[in-house]
Amino acid sequence: MKLLLATGRKAEGMVRDAVRNLSLDCKVLIQDIGIAAFSTPKSLRKALEKQFSSKKSDLILVSGLCKADFSSLEKEIATPIRLGPRHAYDLGEALKFATKMEFSSFIPADVFLAEKRKENARKQLYELESSVKEMFSLKGVKIGGGARMKVCAELVDATLMNEEEIHRKIDFFLESGADIIDIGVHIGAKPGEVKKAVKAALSFAPDIPLSVDTLDAELILAGIETGADMVLSVNKENISEVGGEIGENDRAAVVIPDFDASNESLVANIKMAKEHGIKRIIADPVLNAVGYGIAESIYNYYLFRLQDKSTPLFFGVGNVTELMDADSVGINATLAGIASELDVDILFTPEYSDKAIGSVKELRIASEMMMLSKARKSAPKDVGFDLLMLKEKRRKPVMKLHDKELIVAKKDEKWRLDPKGCFRIGICEVEGECKSDKKIYAEHSPTGKRIVGKSANEIMDTILRLDMVSLFEHASYLSRELTKAELALRLNRSYEQDEELF
């Protein structure tokens, strides 16, 4: 395959460096323009006539930032013209796939390839999950047998919530990717409160598996009676009271060890559960927090899995994330990786503390990454999904400048009030909308007008369109603050005007 890379004078060196060691038959076409993104059919035709008039190419790639329509020229020269990556340093990676797939005429190659990887990953996940013969299922959700690790999201103290709060929280967790919803039971709860919470959950999500989270036998029975599909948890203290009811109703039960936290008592309790008729059993050796024996608890999981290859395993990830002052993303990804090697089947987490918000979504993505990694017999890298939030896989090159070209920036200490007024910027939830969704707001004084949106760009464009600023420095300030607010929104952080984000 003969490739022609069309670029401008400014990027020529970077393009040549990017393709220097590739084995492809690849030539560089320099157009008479400075910036490759400004390529047009006219500039490309002129360069072709001047440099490659007698040579035929199989594919021409132009800058991924190019907005021109090359369809007419493409027909004229009978050669496909497609968008390459947006940045020259991504050319080497993109060209690895040039002979394997057809690039797009309107989507940059780097974006196109990322979307293709995701599409292929989703397809493979579906095929893998469809081929699994599970140990059992909960409302169609496969548990065990090599199925994807399922994410169980706890509504902490759901028995203290009203119906609207339960619906809103479940909706958020389902949007985040939860497979199972757990009804957390507060200390001192009554059977009626458990029944009310389970009914509220079922009225909103009747097709989603529900668990009830308590050791109290009376409350477990209340949950089963109302329609819970799974109970957390049973041990020798309550199995004799609830085992028959769980078995007769064919509910699933998470079995835990006694207070000695030993695998011996866990195995004994599983045996007791089976004797009382419980068929759908999930073992939980109990994951301890860092500082409370996490290494020993993981070892207990390892030993249990050596002894028992088939019983589904429950892994309480939230025990670790909630008790560590560190970003949850990396912790959840690492624990999901450990869980995958232990053939765990359910990843459990609340999002109780502010620092753990987002854990359900993180664990869902991590569980998918681990399933693909295991199927491909590779590390959880380049699988199509990732959990990179603040760091990046490949750093962009830093421009080098000469001192003589620089103007040293200096902050202007003067401040003037814009005659057209000022703005209060923040993050809000708009009441009355179908779904609770956070947005950026900019409230104008003295008019009281409030502009809301998801991006700094759309809010600033609206402010300019409504002619609500008159000073350049005010527009600059608003752009800075709105950008900070958008970053806070994307990263799920708090935002306060005029304060540092980090």
Is 13 domain-assigned? Answer: yes
Q: Which band of pLDDT confidence, cut at 50, 70 and 90, is reported for residue 20?
A: confident
Q: What is the mean pLDDT of the chain?
A: 93
Q: Which residues contact 255 (CB under 8 A, 6 or more apart)?
A: 233, 234, 235, 266, 269, 270, 273, 281, 282, 283, 284
Is 145 domain-assigned? Answer: yes
Find where tokens 């025990």 sit: 319
pLDDT over threshold 60, residue 434: no
Q: Which band of pLDDT confidence, cut at 50, 70 and 90, is reported for residue 262?
A: confident
336 and 270 within one domain: yes
CATH number (domain holding residue 144): 3.20.20.20
Stated length of the chain: 502
167 and 108 within one domain: no
> Is the full-model pTM beyond 0.95?
no
Pairing type for strands 136-138 and 141-143 reads antiparallel
Q: Smallest Cα–Cα separation from 92: which of 80, 107, 109, 105?
A: 109
Least confident of 69-73, 90-94, 117-121: 90-94
Is 413 domain-assigned? Answer: no
Q: Which band of pLDDT confidence, cut at 50, 70 and 90, is reported for residue 189?
A: very high
pLDDT value at position 344?
98
Q: Which residues contact 338 (CB under 8 A, 6 or more apart)?
A: 298
Least confident of 161-175, 284-298, 406-420: 406-420
284 and 169 within one domain: yes
Q: Could you tell me what percent of the chain has a pLDDT over 90?
A: 82
Radius of gyration of the CA atoms of the chain, in A: 29
Half-sphere exposure of 24 (CA within 13 A, CB side): 26
pLDDT value at position 433?
61
Last residue of a domain, one of 117, 147, 179: 117
CATH number (domain holding residue 93): 3.40.50
Number of domains in the chain: 3
210 and 297 within one domain: yes
Average pLDDT over residues 65-83: 94
Q: Residue 200 and residue 183: Cα distance in Å, rounded?
A: 10
111 and 43 within one domain: yes
Last residue of a domain, one of 376, 407, 441: 376
Q: Which residues contact 44 (CB under 8 A, 6 or more apart)?
A: 6, 29, 31, 60, 62, 70, 73, 81
Average pLDDT over residues 147-162: 97
Q: Which residues contact 101 (CB under 8 A, 6 or more apart)?
A: 116
Q: Residue 268 and residue 287: Cα distance in Å, rounded?
A: 19
Q: Residue 108 and residue 65: Cα distance in Å, rounded?
A: 7
pLDDT over threshold 80, residue 394: no
pLDDT value at position 430?
84
Q: Which two tokens mark 259?
A: 């207070």
pLDDT over threshold 80, residue 399: no
For 352, the domain range is 132-376
215 and 89 within one domain: no
Q: How many other C-beta atoms can be found within 10 angstroms of the C-beta atom of residue 241?
A: 15
pLDDT value at position 88?
86
352 and 479 within one domain: no
233 and 87 within one domain: no
Least confident of 34-43, 212-221, 312-321, 381-390: 381-390
pLDDT higher at 260 or 298:
298
Q: What are phi and psi of 31, to 5 degrees?
A: -85, 160
Q: Residue 6, Cα to own-chain centre: how many angstroms?
A: 35
Q: Residue 246 and residue 253: Cα distance in Å, rounded?
A: 8
Q: Residue 201 and residue 229: Cα distance in Å, rounded?
A: 12
Cα of first residue to Cα of last residue in the chain, in angstroms, is 49
Q: Residue 474 and residue 422: Cα distance in Å, rounded?
A: 8
Pairing type for strands 150-155 and 346-350 reads parallel
pLDDT over threshold 90, residue 408: no
Is 283 domain-assigned? Answer: yes
Q: Smallest Cα–Cα separation from 257: which of 268, 248, 271?
A: 268
Is 290 domain-assigned? Answer: yes
Residue 262's alpha-carbon distances to 81, 299, 300, 400, in angstroms, are 65, 11, 8, 60
Say if residues 425 and 408 touch (Cβ distance below 8 Å).
no
> Mutual orientation of helices 163-176 and 359-376 as an angle, nearest 10°?
30
268 and 179 within one domain: yes
pLDDT value at position 351?
94
Last residue of a domain, one of 342, 376, 410: 376
Provide DSSP, 90-136.
GHHHHHTTTTTSPPPSSS-HHHHHHHHHHHHHHHHHHHHHHH---SE
22 and 148 within one domain: no
pLDDT value at position 367?
98
Q: What are phi and psi of 297, to 5 degrees?
A: -65, -40
Average pLDDT over residues 33-60: 89
Question: What residue type is assigned to position 324 of the chain?
Answer: M
Is 125 domain-assigned? Answer: no
Average pLDDT over residues 268-287: 97
Give the angle subtended at the CA of 449 by the CAs of 445 and 451, to the nearest 5°. Answer: 115
Average pLDDT over residues 283-288: 97
Q: Residue 340, Cα to own-chain centre: how many angstroms?
A: 18
170 and 304 within one domain: yes
Q: Smallest Cα–Cα separation from 146: which of 465, 374, 362, 424?
A: 374
Is 255 domain-assigned? Answer: yes
pLDDT value at position 432?
67
Average pLDDT over residues 232-249: 96
**Per-residue pLDDT tens digits for 446-459:** 999 999 999 999 99
